[in-house]
Structure 1
């Protein structure tokens, strides 16, 4: 079997050069989808008969919550790849994914609190879903702290990977918390095993926003990783040539 593609994928230079061509298209797609989803959801989706207009925060809360969880898996898998196959690029992706995931988790917690005030009468309750999301936020912060706690990058990557893999146990808890425990948080609106519980006029703009957020995540992760590549590879000829050409 020809593994050349695998080793090429792990090359920081190859990644930097390839993604430079993708960025304009990905940025345009993200901007279009984000604009369509937000305008559709915030201005044209019908008012919820129970929550009124306060339900519209789901067009931000749900997509960022999705990416906070999915982004953790991306970070953990990247760390595992770097740990097992000693791929520098995978370590760079893991380091880049941590602050993005932390920001998304924080936004999920804040938007959930804003949603909770008119819905539950309080900004915060020690609900199973909310508490496990808070744990996720601390996991992201812990990985970020480990990244800067070691002067040796390999040691930092190894320690971060171990914490990331251990923390993966929290993700299924977040997913299943509303089903296992009696919580204030409403059950999942979107399930792979059944049709969505929302009216199509509300669901379609939410779907657009979820796709837009995945595109946004990919865009920001690529940008962060490219910056990390330039920082770590600054002594190489190709980065020096890149800096001289700017």
Structure 2
């Protein structure tokens, strides 16, 4: 088993193999993301009832909460990819980690922005140095630091490896973000949806949230695969498979 995992990863990590695989998955992931995102927004904005305390102001959670989940989920993917890239020297794993960072930073920025929009009417302020908000802001800075460090090197592999080390170091902040509402006395409310145990939210509000969660994950897959495919073309430009791809069927290549 110990030898099977690296062998499987190396096979999946073949640039031409992954390029074809990502190209076949991308349109389906993007199409489903758009479809489910539209359904989730309709359910959250028009089907779910108004909250008995917050009124309609709470509806921003259908963007805020899935974005917050994604900010942590993507960093988890990056941590795994960075570990694989550093241990087994798989170039594609490094690429996945690096190309995930801008997407994760975008979701984190959306989380902070929508949280501020919700916080103003609920807390009376756009921002407070709450444990959850502060640790999420730190997560955004880590994302931006990874992007900046990656692009600070002329050698892409050196930049990716240095940034992968930063990914592993920054992973300590993920549990802090997740458990901050339990570890400290914060203004931010605790978890209302539980996979194990009862959820403290109406069922009519749960399904749009879960649907949007699925939509954001599919969007991440589509965005990541598109970014990785573009990176592979740029970094592998001198390889035969890229030349065959550029020539198309007339040149004997396969997409």
Give the TM-score band, short-chain normalised. over 0.9
- Cα RMSD (Å): 1.4
Q: Does 1:22 align with 2:30?
A: no
Q: Which stretch of the first structure deviates more once superposed, 186-195 or 232-241?
A: 186-195
Could you tell me how far apart the structure 2 residues matched to 1:93 and 1:41 are?
A: 32
Q: Kindly report which structure 2 residues correspond to 1:43-192, keeping only aligned pairs within 5 A, or say none.
A: 43-192=46-195
- Does residue 42 (structure 1) correspond to residue 23 (structure 2)? The answer is no
Q: Give the match's secondary structure for 2:151.
A: helix
SS of 2:181 mapped into structure 1: helix
Q: Which shows bigger deviation, 22-31 or 79-88?
A: 22-31
Aligned mates of 2:47, 2:196 — CA distance in 1: 28
* Contact map agreement 2:33 2:218 (CA 8 A) in 1: yes
SS at match of 1:64: helix
The whole-number CA distance in structure 1 between the counterparts of 2:243 and 2:122 is 55
* TM-score with structure 1 setting the length: 0.96
Question: Segments of 4+ in structure 1 off by > 4 A?
Answer: none
1:161 Cα offset (Å): 1.3
Give 1:6 deviation, angstroms. 2.7
Q: TM-score, normalised by structure 2?
A: 0.93
Contact 1:109 1:134 in 2 (8 A): yes
Aligned equivalents of 1:152, 1:32: Cα separation in 2: 40
How many aligned positions are there? 246
Write the distance in 2 (CA, Å) between the matches of 1:193 and 1:172. Answer: 18
- What residue in structure 1 maps to residue 252 of structure 2? none
Once residues 29 and 214 of structure 1 are traced to their aligned partners in structure 2, the CA distance between those partners, rounded to angstroms, is 10
Residue 192 (structure 1) shift:
3.2
Say whether the 8 Å CA contact 2:23–2:225 is kept in structure 1.
Answer: no
- Unaligned runs of 5+ residues in structure 2 are 250-255
